[in-house]
Amino acid sequence: MRSGESGDADLVSKLQRRDPDGLAAAYDRYGQMVYSLFLRMTQDPSTAEDLVQELFLRVWNRSRDFDATKGSLGIWILSVARNLGLDFVRSARARFKTRLQALDKTDELLLSYKPKEPALLIDSARLIKEAFANLTTDQKRVLELAYFEGFSQSEIAVQLNAPLGTVKSWMRAALERLRMAVKPGEVR
């Protein structure tokens, strides 16, 4: 068990009891990481700060929905954050087109997160970046469109003028390569 996960049980308990110290601890542990995600998605520091506040309000109000058997608290918070960010980006896209940086230009965001175990983050970031660099151009593009611009696979197919089945294959292959880079030796 990672050190962050060992303290999650107590943190979850505090959140579910609606203990303000739990919310403060969750913010201390995950605030900078989700801020980096929102900044990457919105390209606007002010908007990213607003989304962090909205996220932790949702964490506070929905902490009873968290199920430790389905994953860690950090992954749950990141999932809620990603969905919140995508909702914002989609609504903003309806108002105007936004352009996001390519995934391979996120070093500054990764380095802005200050984990308790920086060596683990640096190793993970390096592994993911190397794996991402080894993806084909099409695989990189479908991941960027799906995860940072919020496109569905059908929308990606239209955007790239490619068959839906091909887009699904690119996505599946890209995710598998990234998964194997992060968890080498995992057998499916």
**pTM, to two decimals:** 0.52
Per-residue pLDDT at 42: 84
The structure tokens 């900078």 sit at: 32
Per-residue pLDDT at 2: 43
Q: Pinpoint the alpha helices (H) of 96-152.
A: 107-112, 118-133, 137-147
The Cα diameter of the chain in Å comes to 51
List of domains in the chain: 1-100 (1.10.1740.10), 106-188 (1.10.10.10)
Q: Which of the four pLDDT bands, split at 50, 70 and 90, describes residue 112?
A: low
Nearest-angstrom CA–CA distance, 39 and 99: 13
If you write DSSP's letter for every residue of 56-75 in order, what string do you get?
Answer: HHHHHHHGGG--GGG--HHH
pLDDT at 98 over 50: no
**Residue 177: which residues within 8 A CB-CB, separation 6 or more?**
131, 134, 135, 139
Which tens digits make up the pLDDT trace of 60-94?
888 888 888 888 888 889 889 998 998 888 876 65
CA 137 to chain centre: 21
The Cβ-side half-sphere exposure at 106, using a 13 Å CA radius, reads: 23
Per-residue pLDDT at 128: 75
Nearest-angstrom CA–CA distance, 38 and 123: 22
Mean per-residue pLDDT over the chain, rounded: 79
**Residue 51: which residues within 8 A CB-CB, separation 6 or more?**
34, 38, 42, 81, 84, 85, 88
- Percent of the chain at pLDDT exceeding 70: 74
Region 97-103: what's the mean pLDDT?
A: 49
Q: Alpha-carbon Rg of the chain, whole angstroms?
A: 17
**Residue 21: which residues within 8 A CB-CB, separation 6 or more?**
14
**Token pair recorded at residue 53:** 């506040």
